[in-house]
Structure 1
Amino acid sequence: MRFLLIFTFLLSFNALAQDDILAREYFKNGDFEKAATTYKKLYAKNSRNKTYLLQLVKAYQQLEKFKEAETLLQDELTRYEYPQLIVELGRNYSLQNDTINSKLNYDKAILTIEKNPNNAYAVGRSFENYSLLNEAIVTYNKAMQLKPQLNFNINLAKIYGEQGNIEKMFNSYINFSEINENYLNTAKREFSSFISENKENENNIILRKILLKKIQTAPNLLWNDMLSWLFIQQKEYKKAFTQEKAIYKRELESLNRVEQLANIAYNQKQLNVAKQIYTFIVENTQEIDIQINANYNLLKIETEQAKEKDYQIINNKYLKLLEKYGKTSRTVNLRVAYAHFLAFNLDKSRDAVAFLKESLNINYSSYQLAQLKLELGDILVLEEKFNEALIYYTQIQRALKNTKISQLARFKVAKTSYYKGDFKWAESQLKILKKSTSQLTANDALDLKLLISDNKQGDSLQTALKKYAKADLLAFQNKKNQAITILSNIIQEHKTETIIPQALLKQAQLFEDKADFEKAKSNYLQIISNYTDGILIDDAIFALAEIYNNQLQLPEKAKELYERIIFNHADSIYFVDSRKKYRALRGDSIN
């Protein structure tokens, strides 16, 4: 008997489930008569299931059987005052353009909140579903007044955002974050759709005023955090640093946030601000690794800003730091940087090679040894000791197979072979790197492969390509003027060859390095005018846009070029940056 009851129940349940699927399919396909019939049957069998009731009401409404829908809802409401159904009844009147009765029912639904503020969940959601945003706002605010522990600020924020009421939206997100601190990063993501990199943008000003008022009236490090984030979006890193210092001084915990800000400022070329932040880190941290890293970055900045007469002071600073922190695994980056400084700045490549070879005897990990060997190989290339450089690059490949540093070493093998004029071996290495896990290495490998393959045909001696490789090597050796001269020779003597746009681009980049932006502009314009179908067209357009935007203060011309990338070169690697910069120049929000 018990088994029979269970079997009968399962059959009944299965039949209901099948009818449910069928009803949904009818409704989805617009067959509302059949949907209504099926939902009516389902509701008769299970009147407690409000989904069946609501779907039946919707089917009647689609069929304009408003009276039947009204009767259904009112019958249900006589049994139980379910607030969501009161909203549905108001909606039913609204579909008949009966604004008086629709408003009466909407108000009645809101009144149920006075008896039970928790009704706001169902009532507010129902209003939102029908885009009755003002009614939803009243609902949520009323519920929070009656029961302060309820928090509908996130719902309100989204509604205010839809309405374009930015100030109320910001306030609602902030009020929600005050109670739910874990939501802070989500709030930042939401804000990023409304603010701009331009600090004078109206929305930026609104958010800044709200946060500053919060800091003054209800001090909480959350507001310093958010204000710091806003300043970072506006590239005002010095102001962000003020907020980060306030957070650190209150918490006296990790300096990781401050260090991240310093790195951002450095990457954005705001070197003086980055220097100020790294100095603060050195003065305030007791953690050796953070100290070393900050000092390392300070020396990098000093080197970038230095004139030749300052190099000896920087050299002494390196030596003091290396003596202070010793020959440990912590100082490997410092040793690599010092060797690079010796070779590329002080022109003491022999001393750099000796220093690195001595460093190889320290008890470093395989990866750290690879870092040293990579720099050693680069300095040997600088000295044009190509075969010895290849030995060290190959050792890295063998010791750390299938790692990013191994792939980078393989690329350097290819580049060294290319400098030597061994284009066939270089190509064989570059083919392997097309599938590199490092996108940067894969892109560099593809660029070099295309350069070689596009320019080795038609000239058995490969004269122009060999000249270009020589210019490339001179540029690597920081002999920019000699490189520019060779590239000029290529442009004059090989006018009909495919390498010309590449030579123009490389020369333009060297002109930029020398801050000769007018000459760089001239080269880019030649590529844009004469090689519109070439693979370098987007490189030239973007580079010229950057010059107009950052160096020549011609934002309108820059905007035109960014727009050209967006509409004519959607597959370009510069597409995302161009869109962002174009929108910033136009005054749009960041996202």
Structure 2
Amino acid sequence: MKQIFWVIGLVLCSYYGFSQNSQLAKQYFEDGDFDKALPLYEQLYEKQPQNTTWFNYVVECQQQMGNYEKAQELLEDKIAASRFPQPLLEVDLGQNYILQKQPEKAQTYFDKAIAYLNEKPAYAGTIGYRFRKYTLLDQAVEAYTLAMKLRPELNYNYQLAGIYGEQGNIEKMFDTFLTLSQTNDTQRTQIERAITQFISEDATDENNLLLKKLLLKRSQTNPAIIWNEMLSWLFVQQKQYNMAFIQEKAIYKRTDEISLDRLTDLALAATEDQEKSTAIDIYNFLIAHTEFAEAKLDAELAIIKLELSENSADIKSIEKKFDQLLDTYGINTHTIPLQIAYAHFIAFNKNEPNTAEKHLKKVLDLRLSPFDASLLKMELADILVFEERFNEALIYYSQIQKTMKNDVAGQNAMFKVAQTSFYKGDFDWAENQLNILKQSTSQLIANDALQLKLLITDNSQDDSLQVALKIYAKADLLAYQNKNTEAISLLDSILIHHKGESIEDEALLKQGKLYEKTGQFEKAIVNYEKMLAFFDGDILTDDALFAMASLYEHQLNDAEKAKEYYEKIIFNHQDSIYFVEARKAYRKLRGDQVDL
């Protein structure tokens, strides 16, 4: 028995030593210490002579050290020792001559490798890949095209398109990708991702115009739906949602209900990019053509939400739309989103919370699933907070926490408990809840929880009575109640009477956001500039920078200013939650090709 353990131990020690050597060799190789890596790889290869990885590293180390004759000897011996043709080693041997600036000799071996495809066309994948590894693009093209000629069922168009792109032959690359799209629809996403590396959001870009021309040409000569789909995709990349909508309507007419999901996705994309008018047109088209009541209702609610997002929203007209929807769809378990949207509108936009509360309680009398009941209770609790009936709201939030404890909805309810406690001025209880939520599985909830906790903590240390914090909490509640003018005024009192205190930057940021909401963009800019001037390096600096950049980009149409502030986030605040979004926006404004 002892002997068995001794043998096992010996094997394990041997394996451990082998693994250590391979890791050490790799580290030396990556660091450029080829003279140190070589003996280790030679030992590994000696122990495992069939392992091509160790052999390749030995050859490459010799080449990196300029020992081309030694590398040649190794490759020739390996080829001679094999009973079978070795086209990959022939490519390696040819590359060894390239390194010695002997292209004529190299071509002899490249020709041998390519000639092997006459016997085994399917080997073009590995042989072509080997050529590409050495940037031998012409030879790779020759290998792939020969194999496809010998066996038409083989398809290396994706590899060929990639090579044409590397060679700068953009038209041939696009054309090859389009041919592949037509024959292999399963690779469409992969193809589109590859194409995005060569186009931009600028519709006048040379490559964009070329791709559009090729797609239109194919659409005219072979009017297949795929060309409409790819034209639509191109227009979306260019943010031309109205043009994409034209293509989607054409697709719909030819495929009927199949394309409605595509239209929904397009409407969402247009909404996200603030193309509200186009989004509304798309939703109206969906309403006119769908046979599904649920899809139609979703579109109706989406239009209402877009209309309400405008400062000049026609409240009476929207109320009339809600009344018509309620008459059409009724109050039942299939229309919960409608009931919630209507109640929210009545409370927050019409300022009739009692009416909204009665409506929701009526819906809650239906036989509901726990999930739907929680959604309704969440809206009801929000309305009770709007009315400053905090204790009643907390009861509903707590019920949701208990029912949906393993769901994001439960965590959201917990955050709202903390937020409501904050509005009440019960900062200790709010902080207790927020400490738990910092570990939320929802990043958005975790970030909101951390931000509110820091607000409470930072402004409780120097002011034991929390006077300024209570004023801020009241202003925050007023903003929640859409009493923006009153909230701005209350924040002014903090900025006047609590100047120099830790809460000043929070008040400036909050007031800036309210100025934005009410269309007072220049006043918002002044607030953010004050934050950067007097609180540079503060935890809210990146918030101010991102707010400034967004304002200049989307509201004031000053791309240069926007780039300036995005750039500051990229270079000085790499740990910011805005970093990824700022980098993408900066690259877009600079005219880079952005992978969407």
Distance 1:577 1:265 in 2: 18
Aligned partner of 1:304 in structure 2 is 309
Is 1:363 aligned with 2:367?
yes
482-491 vs 395-404, which moves further: 395-404
Separation in 2, partners of 1:579, 1:244: 31
| Offset from partner CA, 1:215-253 (integer Å, 9 cap, x none) | 222333233223222222222211222222222222223
Cα distance in 1 between the residues matched to 2:318 and 2:40: 84
- The verdict on how the C-alpha distance between 1:126 and 1:473 changes in structure 2, with shifts beyond 3 A counting, is closer
Aligned to 2:235: 231
Bigger Cα displacement from structure 2, 121-130 vs 511-520? 121-130
Instruction: Please report how far the alpha carbon of residue 350 of structure 1 lies from its aligned counterpart in structure 2 after TM superposition.
Output: 1.3
Secondary structure of the 1:570 match is coil
User: Who is 2:513 aligned against?
Assistant: 509
1:141-160 matches, within 5 Å, as: 141-160=145-164
Whether contact under 8 Å (2:22, 2:44) holds in the other structure is: no
Matching residue of 1:197? 201
1:272 corresponds to 2:281: no
Match of 2:571 in 1: 567
Q: Once the 2 structures are TM-superposed, how far is the Cα of residue 128 of structure 1 from its aligned partner?
A: 2.0
Shift of the alpha carbon at 1:404? 1.5
1:585 partnered with 2:589: yes
The worse-fitting range, judged by mean Cα deviation, of 27-36 and 275-284 is: 27-36
Q: Secondary structure at the match of 2:155?
A: coil
Does residue 217 (structure 1) correspond to residue 221 (structure 2)? The answer is yes
Q: How does 1:133-144 map to 2 (within 5 A)?
A: 133-144=137-148
What does 1:111-126 align with in structure 2 at a 5 Å threshold? 111-113=115-117, 117-126=121-130
In 2, the alpha carbon distance for the partners of 1:509 and 1:32 equals 62
Query: Does residue 452 of structure 2 align to residue 452 of structure 1?
Result: no
TM-score (norm 1): 0.88
5+ long unaligned stretches in structure 1: 1-16
Cα distance between partner residues in 2 of 1:537 and 1:25: 44
| More divergent stretch after superposition (434-443 vs 333-342) | 434-443
Q: Contact conserved, 2:378 with 2:396, CA < 8 A, in 1?
A: yes
Larger CA deviation: 465-474 vs 96-105: 96-105
Q: Give the C-alpha shift of residue 305 in structure 1.
A: 3.9
Instruction: Give the CA deviation at 1:36.
Output: 6.5
Instruction: Label 1:64 to 1:533 Cα distance change in 2 as closer, same or farther (>3 A).
Output: same
Give the stretch that moved more between structures: 104-113 or 419-428.
104-113
Does the residue aligned with 1:329 lie in a helix, a strand or coil? coil
CA contact (8 A) 2:164 2:170 kept: yes
Counterpart of 2:171 in 1: which secondary structure? helix
CA–CA separation in structure 2 for the residues paired with 1:67 and 1:359: 82
Name the SS for the 2:164 alignment partner: helix
CA distance in 2, matches of 1:171, 1:385: 65
Correspondences of 1:17-32 after superposition (within 5 Å): none
2:192 aligns to what? Answer: 188
Q: Could you tell me which of 544, 552, 573 is aligned with 1:548?
A: 552
What CA distance in whole angstroms lies between the structure 2 residues aligned with 1:133 and 1:56? 25
Is the aligned partner of 1:281 residue 2:286? yes
Give the Cα–Cα distance (whole angstroms) in 1 for the partners of residues 467 and 277 of structure 2: 45
Q: Deviations over 1:324-374 (max 9, x none)?
A: 222222211100110111112222211111111111111221111111111
**Aligned partner (choices 512, 525, 529) of residue 525 of structure 1:** 529
The alignment of Structure 1 onto Structure 2 pairs a total of residues equal to 569
Check whether the contact 2:75–2:89 (CA below 8 A) recurs between aligned residues: no
Is residue 2:410 matched to residue 1:387?
no
Aligned to 2:296: 291
Name the SS for the 1:256 alignment partner.
Answer: helix
- The reply on whether 1:473 has 2:477 as its aligned counterpart is yes
Paired residue secondary structure (2:471): helix
1:530–1:24 Cα change, 3 Å: closer
Cα displacement (A) at 1:60: 7.5
1:259-289 alpha-carbon deviations (Å, 9 max, x no partner): 1211222232211111111111111111121
Q: For residues 500 and 81 of structure 1, do their structure 2 counterparts lie closer, same or farther at Cα, with a shift above 3 Å needed?
A: closer
* Partner residue, 2:69: 64
Counterpart-to-counterpart distance in 1, 2:554 and 2:23: 58
Given that 2:584 and 2:594 are in contact with CA atoms closer than 8 Å, whether structure 1 keeps it comes out as yes
- Supply the distance in 1 between the matched residues of 2:57 and 2:303 (Cα, whole angstroms): 67
Return the offset for 1:56: 8.1
CA contact (8 A) 1:127 1:135 kept: yes
Q: Contact (CA 8 Å) 2:301, 2:338: kept in 1 or not?
A: yes
User: Quick check: 2:357–2:380 contact (8 Å CA) kept in 1?
Assistant: yes
